[in-house]
Structures are given as structure tokens and as C-alpha cells.
Amino acid sequence: MKTLDQMREERLGKMSEKERAEYEAGYDDIDAGIRIAQLFYDERISMGLTQAELAKRMNTTQAAIARIENGAVMPGTGMLERLARVAHKRVALV
């Protein structure tokens, strides 16, 4: 499965300079939910876990992880902290 960044690079390669500039401007304004969805997916894959396995470690459901990863739900800070704990990382809001 391709990452969001890989799909983006593929798409950019097919665009004219003008189209690319417009796309980049829009991409810079992308909703935080999409970035967080990608973060959840990337962390889960880097740990070699299924959605169900990550959910169990985070004390939630596979459906909740799926909704976050597909961008349907914006996780709260508690959910972000649980992901960080499972991934042995820290949450930093910038």
C-alpha cells in the first residue's frame, strides 16, 4: 500500500508547473485530520501491527483505529497520548 507522501509525489510528477504550484498551496492547508490519520497508519505499520493489535494495546476497538486512519474521526489528545505510549514516543503539539 502506498503512503500519502508516495501518492502525492506520483501525482505531482504528472502535473504542469502551474498545477503543481496550486496543488502545493492547497496541500499546505491540508486538514490536520489527514496528517493525524497518516501518523496513526505510519506508526502502526512501523510497529508491524494490525489495526486490531494496535487497538488492543491502546485499549480501544479496531473500528476506532480504522475510523481514525481513514480520516472519519479526529482523535482527541487522550487517544494521541495512548498511541504515543504504545509507540514509545512523546506527543508534542507545535
Tens digit of each residue's pLDDT (9 = 90 or more) over 67-77: 999 988 889 99
| Ordered domains of the chain (ranges, CATH) | 1-30 (no CATH), 32-94 (1.10.260.40)
Q: How far is CA 94 from the centre of its chain?
A: 16
Digit-coded pLDDT (tens) for 7-66: 878 888 898 999 888 887 776 666 777 888 999 999 999 999 999 999 999 999 999 999
Banded pLDDT at 2 (limits 50, 70, 90): confident
Q: Is the pTM of this model over 0.85?
A: no
Sign of the four-CA dihedral 52, 55, 60, 62? negative
Count of all residues that appear for the chain in the document: 94
